[in-house]
């Protein structure tokens, strides 16, 4: 469902966003300060949106409890990531090159907001110990209708989801790991040969740091998949413990106007979830190629059936299983908070 805003509503929120932009502080020319005075006008613009009905529910599902506030701040954050770092600690947004005309920038941001939903494809590489859960003769296994699947690295994956980027900063960000290793490794980024991935299609909005409803629902799906694998004896846990927390992440591709997938960013899972993933291995039931050939298709079919009911999670307690080492059972939706909360603190709200 598209964001079909009434012309009067669109004009009003554009006016309020235009008032907010000159009051937004930018730190070092790159980071929008969430405790800026301009947040007040963004909240007012958010309140000018429908507060009930189908469109209201759609906006919450696309972004968050404060859809316009989060969309504007995250969009600005994404745009400024490529800006040059400045020594000056704080300056107003409208003094940054390209943002001098608040009315023009506001109209552009609101037009992007009204054009939602964006369409994304999230690809999460499974730990190597789990690759054999996908039957050897299969390169793809549908998990939930057409919106999620297991995928093995193949030429089709590389062609449809390229990892090529235009700038060096984007390449370093996508490669992940330490800054030094990213700088030293100048080889083109590519999908690991033979790797198996969880792939999820979502629509809405995902900002540069994640945290929106589509992103959090995707993280929840990953945990549901692993929890089901444990419950159905596809996976089991080992006793290994890493002193340094492992880092597991996933790639976010967005469909452009030409209908092609373009890589946007790489997002990391929480440390607790990464630790849990690191402790997973194939269960004794599927410990040999013969057992895998017999049991993996049957277990995956059962998992696909249950995952198809995941929106009725209260009826499927098994989907509330958490990974080993995690405390939170279902904590994927951020608690409702006010964007104004950080204004009264010395330090602004920082999204991790």
Q: Identify which of 351, 43, 16 has the alpha carbon closest to the alpha carbon of residue 212.
A: 351
Q: Give me the sign of the Cα torsion angle 222, 227, 229, 230.
A: positive
pLDDT score of 333 more than 60: no
DSSP 95: G
In three-state secondary structure terms, 254 is strand
- Quick one: 17 exposed, middle or buried, by C-beta within 10 A (0-12, 13-18, 19+)? buried
Q: Are residues 164 and 20 in the same domain?
A: no
Q: Are residues 111 and 131 in the same domain?
A: no
The answer to whether residues 96 and 83 touch, using CB atoms and an 8 Å cutoff, is yes
- Quick one: 190 exposed, middle or buried, by C-beta within 10 A (0-12, 13-18, 19+)? exposed
Q: Are residues 130 and 69 in the same domain?
A: no
Q: Are residues 108 and 143 in the same domain?
A: no
β-strand pairing of 261-268 with 249-255: antiparallel
Q: Are residues 133 and 166 in the same domain?
A: yes
Report how many domains make up the chain. 2
Q: Is 161 within the bounds of a domain? A: yes
Write out the H or E segment, with its range, that includes residue 197.
strand 196-204
Q: Are residues 79 and 165 in the same domain?
A: no
Give pTM, 2 decimals. 0.85
Distances (CA, A) of 216 to 29, 64, 314: 29, 10, 18
The answer to whether residues 251 and 175 touch, using CB atoms and an 8 Å cutoff, is no
Choice between 304 and 339, residue whose per-residue pLDDT is larger: 304
Q: Are residues 56 and 138 in the same domain?
A: no
The answer to whether residues 78 and 212 touch, using CB atoms and an 8 Å cutoff, is no
Digit-coded pLDDT (tens) for 108-130: 999 999 999 999 999 999 999 99
- Give the mean pLDDT of the chain: 85
- Least confident interval from 49-63, 102-116, 187-201: 187-201
Choice between 237 and 146, residue whose per-residue pLDDT is larger: 237
In angstroms, the CA 315 to CA 99 distance is 49
Q: Is 349 within the bounds of a domain? A: no
Give how far the C-alpha of residue 140 lies from the chain's centroid of Cα atoms, to the nearest Å: 22
Q: Are residues 149 and 67 in the same domain?
A: no
Q: Are residues 255 and 237 in the same domain?
A: yes
Q: Is 146 within the bounds of a domain? A: yes
Q: The domain containing residue 315 runs over which residues?
A: 118-320
Choice between 314 and 340, residue whose per-residue pLDDT is larger: 340
Q: Are residues 85 and 161 in the same domain?
A: no
196 contact partners, CB below 8 Å, separation of at least 6: 125, 126, 130, 131, 133, 134, 150, 151, 152, 153
Q: Is 342 within the bounds of a domain? A: no
Q: Are residues 133 and 265 in the same domain?
A: yes
Q: Are residues 168 and 61 in the same domain?
A: no
Digit-coded pLDDT (tens) for 147-182: 999 999 988 888 899 887 766 667 677 776 544 444
Q: b or e along 60-76 (b: 16 or more beta carbons within 10 Å of the residue's beta carbon)?
A: ebbbbbbbbbbbbbbbb
Q: Is 253 within the bounds of a domain? A: yes
Q: Is 153 within the bounds of a domain? A: yes
Q: Is 213 within the bounds of a domain? A: yes
Q: Is 336 within the bounds of a domain? A: no
Q: Where are the beta strands (DSSP E) in 15-57?
A: 25-27, 31-32
Q: Identify which of 183, 219, 184 has the alpha carbon closest to the alpha carbon of residue 200.
A: 219
Q: b or e along 318-343 (b: 16 or more beta carbons within 10 Å of the residue's beta carbon)?
A: ebebbbbbbeeeeebeeeeeebbebe
């Amino acid at each position: 469902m598209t964001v079909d805003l009434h012309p009067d509503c669109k004009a009003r929120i554009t006016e309020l966003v235009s008032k907010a932009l000159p009051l937004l502080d930018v730190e070092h020319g790159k980071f929008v300060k969430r405790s800026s005075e301009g947040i007040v006008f963004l909240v007012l613009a958010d309140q000018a949106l429908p507060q009930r009905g189908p469109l209201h529910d759609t906006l919450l599902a696309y972004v968050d409890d404060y859809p316009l506030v989060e969309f504007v701040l995250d969009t600005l954050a994404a745009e400024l990531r490529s800006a040059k770092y400045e020594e000056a600690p704080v300056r107003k947004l409208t003094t940054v090159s390209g943002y001098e005309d608040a009315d023009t920038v506001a109209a552009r941001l609101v037009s992007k907001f009204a054009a939602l939903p964006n369409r994304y494809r999230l690809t999460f590489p499974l730990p190597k110990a789990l690759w054999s859960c996908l039957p050897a003769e299969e390169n793809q296994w549908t998990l939930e209708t057409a919106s999620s699947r297991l995928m093995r690295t193949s030429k089709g994956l590389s062609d449809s989801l390229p990892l090529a980027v235009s700038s060096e900063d984007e390449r370093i960000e996508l490669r992940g790991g330490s800054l030094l290793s990213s700088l030293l490794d100048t080889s083109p980024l590519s999908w690991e040969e033979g790797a198996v991935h969880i792939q999820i299609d979502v629509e809405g909005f995902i900002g540069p740091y994640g945290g929106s409803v589509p992103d959090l629902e995707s993280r929840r799906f990953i945990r549901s998949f692993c929890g089901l694998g444990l419950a159905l004896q596809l996976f089991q846990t080992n006793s290994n413990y890493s002193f340094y927390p492992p880092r597991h992440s996933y790639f976010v591709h967005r469909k452009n106007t030409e209908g092609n997938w373009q890589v946007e960013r790489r997002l990391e899972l929480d440390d607790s979830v990464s630790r849990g993933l690191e402790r997973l291995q194939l269960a004794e039931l599927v410990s040999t190629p013969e057992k895998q050939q017999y049991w993996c298709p049957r277990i995956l079919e059962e998992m696909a059936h249950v995952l198809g009911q995941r929106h009725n999670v209260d009826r499927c307690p098994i989907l509330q299983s958490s990974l080993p080492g995690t405390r939170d059972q279902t904590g994927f939706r951020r608690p409702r908070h006010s964007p104004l909360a950080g204004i009264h603190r010395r330090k602004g709200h920082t999204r991790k």
